[in-house]
Structure 1
């Protein structure tokens, strides 16, 4: 949850070592985005690296849970079935 918006967490089934490897890869890709500056091709490659790392972590792309619950990623909590929970926690 960031400023009332739901964000998908990393897949809890990942081992700590695998999760850390993927986080390191994500950080490398984010540094590449910053380093790309005004080079459109470098930016495109760097952003693709961020996307790939986030998908591998389970933060984007196909959902990692198996209970068929909908994905409310990036939605305002107040506009989801979690609205009551958000109201209780936001106090």
Structure 2
């Protein structure tokens, strides 16, 4: 059984979580349609460590996980407030 540590609820079975995609900078309001399309549909998909959005489904709590996509090892999890400070909408 694979375990992920939720910053709010502690260690939980991975089946309680839903993947939300890479953490990336949103385009500015009024950005060109091409920039919005790139944000929505193009992903980096690089080997190595990446920051990802995850949701603990039973509590609807969204947080960030740093994961090595090569080994599928979760290195750390933390609330979004650690990464996003004072910049709404990221």
TM-score by length of 2: 0.25
Greater relative contact order (Cα < 8 A, sep 6+):
1
Q: Which has the higher helix share?
A: 1
- Larger Rg: 1 or 2? 1
More strand by percentage: 2
